[in-house]
Amino acid sequence: MYGVIEGFYGAFYTTPQRIDLIRFIGAHGFDSYLYAPKNDRQHRARWREPYPDKIMRGFAETVSAAQASGVDFIYSLSPGETICYTSADDFTRLTDKFAAFYAIGVRSFGLLLDDISAALRDPEDRDRFGTTAAAHAHLCNGVAAWLRDLDPTCTLCMCPTDYYGAPTDYIRELGERLHPGIDVFYTGQEVCAPEISAGEVSAFAAAIRRPPVLWDNYPVNDLAMHDEMHIGAIQRRDPTTIGRVNGVMINTMLQPEASKVALLTYADFLRDPFGYDPAVAWANALRLVAGDEYADCVRLFAENSLHSCLGMPEARPLQARVDDLLAALLRGEAISGSRAAEALRTYLTDLDEACYALKFRMENLALRAELLPWIEKLELWLWLGRFALQTLDAYERRQPYAQLRIKTQTWLHEALAHPKRIGGRALVPLAQFALETVPL
């Protein structure tokens, strides 16, 4: 099981987007697609309800496209917020839902019991099972048996409530009770893990009594991360974990086209974990997604958008140039003729040209649409940097600077107010230096 999870909170993909992504991953070596968007009401909040006929026709089209692409479409439910584990009626509603997907060709299913209370809600569940692990094992084992009776080729995977961190008593009991043929997801030491090591995977595997399937929450950007664009290469994943898991599933961003960059780098990692070079994989991925003509433009954009759980420097080239210039100015160097100032100007110009090309000329219109809010935020930073430099230069040359200073203040306010995150705050110290150095 190596593939993609559509498992985020927020606006989930349209049928055309989903089919496009499934065809893409099938063409690049992945074999599975887990459908699990938290905001699909018939998947989670109102899981008992059948889908409307129109939506089921879209699923049927998706399943057919997945089969043609060599991708196993896994349909999952997330019933844990409201299900009564002792209820025969709830069990029937759940299996009826799965039966509808079986009828359109689905043979792999999932039960996601993550992001719910660790305590059993219903008194009858507490009386019968005593522990949450016992209730979860009962549900999963019952559904797995129902699926085997329906068709021996059917499979079931599940996400436990404790799906990250060190193994808990819940995980150990679940491992004891759960049928050995049911795959279990694990995200690492954290929900969005900066790094994933073989040791922590092995510890979880021992507790759950099977190699887990790694649910990697990079590049996902939902909830508190919705203002971020995770368009860097996968990094900090121990290559020895690949031999200790029963698969790797990657939770994508709310932006399916932009997610392809990270997915391509992950495909390279999975093909050759020990020989994987993130820089080479990233360059190749940018060319494949953006096209040869615009790969460098996306690279310039993306190297300013590397803030994520992976802990990479957010905007290293921009930050380095600003730091060099501020150090020179604090040493008393003039901005006129400054090599550091010229290096920053050149970089800002290159970024501006890249942003213009991405906004108005890039042929991948889906990628353009997804990146546009971040491109526009980056442009605000570019204007701020330009006006800060011009303000300092005009003041130094004893030329009129009042309007330039006002524009610096205005663009600083606009950039800080924009909701998207890109470029960090690299240009803020330069703007503040200009506003503090140049009098009103």
Q: What DSSP letter does each residue of 346-396 carry, written as one string?
A: HHHHHHHHHHHHHHHT-S-HHHHHHHHHHHHHHHHHHHHHHHHHHHHHHHH
Inter-CA distances, 373 with 86, 289, 297, 416, Å: 48, 19, 16, 14
Residue 302 included in any domain:
no
- For residue 192, how many other CB atoms are within 10 A of its CB? 21
Looking at the structure, tell me whether residues 414 and 347 fall in a common domain. yes
Look up tokens 């399916």; give the residue.
Answer: 256
Q: Which residues contact 20 (CB under 8 A, 6 or more apart)?
A: 256
Kindly state whether residues 341 and 267 are assigned to the same domain. no
Q: Residues 267, 374: one domain?
A: no
204 and 351: one domain?
no
111 and 217 share one domain: yes
Q: Provide the residue type at 402 as one letter.
A: A
Is residue 86 domain-resident? yes
283, 299 contact by CB (below 8 A)? yes
The conformation of residue 292, written as its DSSP 8-state character, comes to G
Query: Is 324 inside any structural domain?
Result: yes
Domain boundary residue among 221, 252, 276? 276
Q: Do both 328 and 236 map to the same domain?
A: no
Same domain, 186 and 83: yes
Name which of 271, 289, 275, 165 is nearest 232 in CA terms. 289
Residue 303, both tokens: 């190297």
Of 276, 304, 324, the residue at which a domain comes to its end is 276
Q: Is residue 330 part of a domain?
A: yes
Please check whether residues 111 and 233 belong to one and the same domain. yes
Q: Which residues contact 155 (CB under 8 A, 6 or more apart)?
A: 107, 108, 109, 147, 181, 183
**108 and 225 part of one domain:** yes
CATH code, domain carrying 381: 1.20.58.460
Going residue by residue through the chain (440 aa), what tens digit of pLDDT does each one get?
999 999 999 999 999 999 999 999 999 999 999 999 999 999 999 999 999 999 999 999 999 999 999 999 999 999 999 999 999 999 999 999 999 999 999 999 999 999 999 999 999 999 999 999 999 999 999 999 999 999 999 999 999 999 999 999 999 999 999 999 999 999 999 999 999 999 999 999 999 999 999 999 999 999 999 999 999 999 999 999 999 999 999 999 999 999 999 999 999 999 999 999 999 999 999 999 999 999 999 999 999 999 999 999 999 999 999 999 999 999 999 999 899 999 999 999 999 999 999 999 999 999 999 999 999 999 999 999 999 999 999 999 999 999 999 999 999 999 999 999 999 999 999 999 999 999 98
Domain count, the chain: 2
Instruction: Note whether residue 292 is domain-resident.
Output: no
Q: Pick from 169, 156, 59: which is nearest to 113 by CA?
A: 156
* Structural domain containing residue 149: 2-276
- In this structure, are 362 and 272 located in the same domain? no
- From 276, 298, 330, the end of a domain falls on 276
Judge if 160 and 242 occupy the same domain.
yes
In whole angstroms, what is the distance from residue 117 CA to residue 125 CA?
Answer: 14
336 and 243, same structural domain? no
CA distances from 87 to 51, 118, 170, 206 (A): 22, 19, 22, 32
- Residue 101 CA: distances (Å) to CA of 29, 54, 95: 25, 14, 10
